[in-house]
A and B are shown apart, each in its own frame.
Chain A
């Protein structure tokens, strides 16, 4: 158990809909990262938050947004869903600034768009 909790574990929704994925980082971790893993594109970095502020942005679509709340949990919002958004979405967390900074992953949220 990495200590990173993601909900829901599985989600099936229709095209055009909106979903929210939730992540609770490990205790004490200030940074949260979101990744998308699909069969044809591997592991894609979406976005990073540090203590409530956006820190880095990767290949995140404009239809997607995220935020990190004062209690450090994070949500990834996916809207106007398309079939191609079906993927495994990972949240990860770390303690930035540590000399041996390590990123720990949750179990992921499986999203199926039908």
Chain B
């Protein structure tokens, strides 16, 4: 079956630190992979996506590479800001179904 596993939170970082949030997946076929971000009190927003192996999605300084050999889609950012504090969800899409991870809460302190 299809599933997504992402690292447990919460994660607390100082401003300008490097961020990695791990995400691995199990899927049949060739899924698309996504990262969504949920800011406090808001809905989920698409952050970035990749539709095939070795694709790199990037947005707002965040990036993730679709690694088929390791079935991973880790989210990275070189220098986080306080405004990046949010919950991050990894997701996959296969045959018009979407599967979400449990979310990782990130807090960035000044």
Interface string of B83-104 (1 = CB under 8 A from A): 0000001010100111010110
Main secondary structure, interface of A, reads strand
| Contact-size category for A | 20 to 34
**Is there a chain B Cβ closer than 8 Å to A68's Cβ?**
no
B17: chain A residues within 8 A (beta carbon): none
B51 touches A2 (CB 8 A): no
CA distance A90 to B103 in the complex (A): 15
Please give me the residue from chain B that is nearest to A107 by CB atom. Answer: B43
A56: chain B residues within 8 A (beta carbon): 97
Please give me the residue from chain B that is nearest to A95 by CB atom. Answer: B96
A101 touches B96 (CB 8 A): yes
A42 touches B103 (CB 8 A): yes
3 nearest A-B residue pairs (beta carbon): A96-B96, A105-B44, A105-B43
